[in-house]
A and B are shown apart, each in its own frame.
Chain A
Amino acid sequence: MTDQPPKPGNSRSSPKRKLTPLSFILLACASFSSAQTPGKAPTLTVAPVPLVTTQRTKQTTVEINFRVPPGYHVNSNTPKSEFLIPTTLRIEVPTDIILGKTEYPAGKDMTFPFSPDEKLNVYSGDFTIAVGVHPLRSVVPGKYAMHGTLRYQACDNAACYPPKNLPVSFEVKVVKEPPAPHKNPAQSPHVHN
């Protein structure tokens, strides 16, 4: 048995080209179905944070974007009940880099089938948390990795899932502050002899 070259007029395309659109659709279907699987804890995702350049002695805001899978929500940072677990971001910073204020977005007040009479303050879809980063003058210029954790507790319309921790990391490039503008030193009068 020998391989036959494709006959002229045989329009079979390469398997790769033929499968690509179908594979894409299947992957989309599979990811959609897995995101909706009941009884399975959803996982939030964090978008890669572009390298942030900041000067020493100045505070720069780093925005970190998160996504809640469709069909789920997480409590905001200020849920309305003392028993609900707020979404919190904790970042560990290297020595001599100070963490500024962490700004959480306002949640949406929503009612759910399990809570028709009580509005809950939640995040769903995409949300952004902003973190202030403030390198001190003593920081050696260079790149610094910042690591942290987003703690959240998700629910869907009928069930809630145990709290989870999502690792978060980003890099900050610290550069020297521009030299301070210095006044011209007092000119000594020219002496003409």
Chain B
Amino acid sequence: MKRSPLVLIVLAFVVAVMLYFGVHQAQRPGASLTTHLKLSSPAPDFSLESLDGKTTRLSDFRGKAVLLNFWATWCGPCKIEMPWFVDFQKQYGSQGLQIVGVAMDDASKEDIGKFAKDMGVNYPILIGKEAVGDQYGGVPALPETFLIARDGKIMDKIIGLKGKAEIEDAIKEALNSRPAPSQASASDGAVTAPPQK
């Protein structure tokens, strides 16, 4: 059977279209969670030092809706989000929202502190470690944000800069989540993995 070059061109076009839509499918929020960290799986617990020198664990915020934001001082898009997070913390903090920033930075603690102060950050900033990033899928790009429900399970993951309204919708959804029954009595954490130090 003789195939004309036209058939090959059409075939190549179809493949190109499939690749194009494949890439766009992967861009959807939450669609690219790593295999070991899926939606509705417990958010891995960790223990990190905050800017004020205190040791903070993710499980300290059990029962709250947590927005866990991985960022860095060298990340331009992160700078756009931070004022939004400041607003969200003010607006929804009383309803049980806790924003937590994790700086995945080589910069000194002082530089990170200066940056956070300049940005008017009103939520805890923790000094990130690679091991904690690995727990959350390696955090290959910044900003990377996880919405954690009151029961400690991951509800959403946002890679890169998205719209403020999209983040706010995710926050509202997390605030509407119910704490785990065992957490209502504050006797047990939703997190199952041991904290990384």
Contacts and interface: CB of A to CB of B under 8 A. Distances in A.
Q: Do A and B bind each other?
A: yes
Interface string A107-145: 000001111000010000000000000000000000000
Interface residues on B, range: 35 or more
A77 to B, nearest CB: 15
B26 interface: yes
A155 B15 contact: no
A115 B107 contact: no
Interface stretch (A49-57, A91-99, A160-168, A179-187): A160-168
Nearest to B12: A25
B72 interface: yes
Nearest to B71: A160
Contacts of B106: 163
A28 to B, nearest CB: 9
B161 interface: yes
Interface in B24-78: 26-27, 32, 72-78
Contacts of B143: 159
Given A37-B23, A159-B160, A114 B76 contact: yes
Given A83-B73, A158-B77, A22 B8 contact: yes
B193 interface: no
Interface in B66-111: 72-80, 104, 106-107, 111
Contact of A26 (B1, B12, B78, B162): B12
Given A18-B3, A38-B159, A30 B78 contact: no
Interface in B138-186: 140-144, 159-162
B131 interface: no
A11 interface: yes
Interface in B1-26: 1-3, 5, 8, 11-12, 15-16, 19-20, 22-23, 26
Contacts of A32: 19
Considering residues B23, B141, B143, B160, which has the most beta carbons from chain A within 10 angstroms of its beta carbon? B141
Interface string A15-41: 000100110011001101100111111
Given A114-B161, A115-B80, A155-B76, A29 B141 contact: no
A11 B2 contact: yes
A158 B72 CA distance: 14
Interface of B: 1-3, 5, 8, 11-12, 15-16, 19-20, 22-23, 26-27, 32, 72-80, 104, 106-107, 111, 115, 140-144, 159-162
Interface of A: 11-12, 18, 21-22, 25-26, 29-30, 32-33, 36-41, 83-85, 112-115, 120, 153, 155-156, 158-163
22 contacts: A12-B2, A18-B3, A25-B8, A25-B12, A32-B19, A37-B23, A39-B26, A40-B141, A41-B140, A41-B141, A114-B80, A115-B79, A120-B76, A158-B77, A158-B160, A158-B162, A159-B141, A159-B161, A160-B75, A161-B140, A161-B141, A163-B106
